[in-house]
Amino acid sequence: MKLQGKKILICISGGIAAYKINFLIRDFIKKGADVQVLMTPSAEKMVSKLTLSTLSKNPVYTEFYSENGTWNNHVDLALSADVILMAPCTANTLAKLVHGMCDNLVLATYMSAKCPVFIAPAMDLEMYQHPSTKQNLELAEDFGHHIIPAEHGELASGLSGQGRMAEPETIAQIIEEFFNATQSLQGKTVLITAGPTYEAIDPVRFIGNHSSGKMGFSLAKEAADRGAKVILISGPSAEKTDNPNILVHRVTSAKEMFTKVFDHFENVDIAIASAAVADYAPKEVASEKIKKNDDSLTIELVKNPDILKTMGEKKSKQFLVGFALETQNEEENAKGKLQKKNLDMIVLNSLRDEGAGFKGTTNKIKIITETTVTEFPLKSKNEVAKDILNFVQAQILK
């Protein structure tokens, strides 16, 4: 069974949806999981510790010290878990966890954790739609946490809309799918390019683009979470990772990225070229800062090496994924790139789609192969990374 022996730490905060956790715990236990429950003090008003303890077959902790004086070690609780599930996660708890507040056992345990964190928000309609909640959910995703979106339905206030915690069976399915995917790329080596390239004009100025590297880093994290060894070659980007399964190579120019890619390309199983590589670079780079003497400045540009095309020419066993960012004739141009560069699939972004493209935390993509076009709705880049790797895996296993 997918959950057999998995250690799931459930952290309950004070929302009325806490009653649903009884059913979720029972399901997890039936499937062989080891469940430990923590509660915020306000959660005790919503659900019985005795019931939760009976169902989980473990004591339930709310405070740092039990009644007999035993210390409930938040570090041990955090480090022993395979996943942490925050459910229900109220607006208050969500705000605290993304802003570093730590005034109870649940939050101290969360801040000590190194395992994946799943967040199932639950709150009333207007609270869920409030800009601060949306921003806090985006922050949580930026941290790499998995958001289980609230569902539509009748709420405690009597209103109807989005805000209900996802049903226990939905949460259980998501957790099971996570564990199922965890080792799906075990033994594979994945090369990913990310971010922009900067092409020097002089020691101060450069030609570049607005790519943040978020999409490439999200892909790297997801591939590593699935058990792959990841080689991440990134242009200038503020994104970081400390995942031991991700080997990061930092480069600046297209030529540097070209060299680093082909240091590794021969030995990888999957290559995903998500970097926004500059097509051209200045023919000559000034050794000193160019002075502003004239009303105009002419810079001669020359073509950079085409990294993706060369990967397509050199590929043997590799499954090769390209990206296309288009502003017009999107599908036609992407299909042309797919064929010309000998790709197995291409991920299409359109700058005409709101929320897609550079810098943001969301993206809207189409995945195109020789025979199919699959469109996905606007999602966070972490979720888009899952969609891309799910599609890659499905193609490899055909």
Other CB atoms within a 10 A radius of the CB of residue 394 amount to: 9
Q: How confident is the model at residue 196 (pLDDT cuts 50, 70, 90)?
A: very high
Measured in residues, the chain has a length of: 398
Angle at CA of residue 356, ends 354 and 362, nearest 5°: 105
CATH number at residue 83: 3.40.50.1950
Residue 65 has pLDDT above 60, yes or no: yes
Q: How many CB atoms within 10 Å of residue 236?
A: 17
Is the C-alpha dihedral spanning 101, 243, 78, 13 positive or negative?
positive
**Secondary structure of residue 182 in the 3-state scheme:** helix
User: At which of 182, 199, 225 does a domain end?
Assistant: 182
Question: Are the C-beta atoms of residues 319 and 311 closer than 8 Å to each other?
Answer: no
Q: What residues are annotated to the active site?
A: 209
Residue 197 predicted with pLDDT over 70: yes
CB-based contact 157:125 (threshold 8 Å): yes
Same domain, 86 and 219: no
Q: What is the mean pLDDT of residues 56-73?
A: 90
Q: Alpha-carbon distance 389 to 347, whole Å? A: 11
Whether residue 233 sits in one domain with residue 102? no
Residues 343 and 379 in one domain: yes
**Residue 2 is assigned to a structural domain of this protein:** no
- What mean pLDDT is predicted for residues 310-330? 93
Q: How far apart are CA 210 and CA 7, in angstroms?
A: 41
For residue 340, give both structure tokens.
């010309």
As given in the structure block, the two tokens for residue 335 are 């299909």
Tokens representing 53 are 């303890």
Q: Is residue 265 part of a domain?
A: yes
Same domain, 158 and 197: no
This prediction's pTM:
0.65
Q: Which of 149, 182, 215 is the last residue of a domain?
A: 182
Same domain, 161 and 284: no
Q: Which CATH number does the domain housing residue 368 bear?
A: 3.40.50.10300
Residues 294 and 314 grouped into a single domain: yes
- Tens digit of each residue's pLDDT (9 = 90 or more) over 330-365: 899 999 999 999 999 999 987 776 766 666 778 889
Same domain, 251 and 336: yes
User: Picking from 242-256, 296-310, 340-354, which range would have the lowest pLDDT averaged per residue?
Assistant: 340-354
- Within a domain: 286: yes
What are the DSSP E strand ranges found in 197-341?
A: 199-200, 206-207, 229-234, 246-250, 270-273, 280-282, 301-303, 319-326
Directed axis angle between helix 168-182 and helix 21-30, to 10°?
40
Question: Would you give the DSSP letter of residue 99?
Answer: T
Among 175, 35, 10, 26, which residue's Cα sits nearest to residue 88? 10
Q: Are residues 155 and 212 in the same domain?
A: no
pLDDT tens sequence across 200-245: 999 999 999 989 999 999 999 999 988 899 999 999 999 999 888 8
CB 364 within 8 A of CB 378: yes
Among residues 128, 157, 182, the one where a domain terminates is: 182
- According to the model, what pLDDT value does residue 327 have? 76
Q: Is residue 1 part of a domain?
A: no
pLDDT at 1 over 60: no
Determine how β-strand 151-154 pairs with β-strand 160-164: antiparallel
Tokens found for residue 298: 């002419």
Tokens representing 174 are 């998501």
How would residue 180 be classed by pLDDT, with cut points 50, 70 and 90?
confident
pLDDT per residue as tens digits for the range 87-103: 999 999 999 999 999 99
Question: Using alpha carbons only, what angle is made at residue 35 by residues 34 and 38, rounded to the nearest 5 degrees?
Answer: 150
Number of domains in the chain: 2
pLDDT of residue 328: 82
| 76 and 209 share one domain | no
The boundaries of the domain holding residue 79 are: 7-182
Q: How much is the pLDDT for 160?
A: 79
Q: Same structural domain for residues 16 and 56?
A: yes
Distance in angstroms (rounded) separating the CA atoms of residues 110 and 347: 35
Q: Are 304 and 277 in contact (CB under 8 A)?
A: yes
Do 254 and 139 reside in the same domain of the chain? no
211 & 261 share domain:
yes
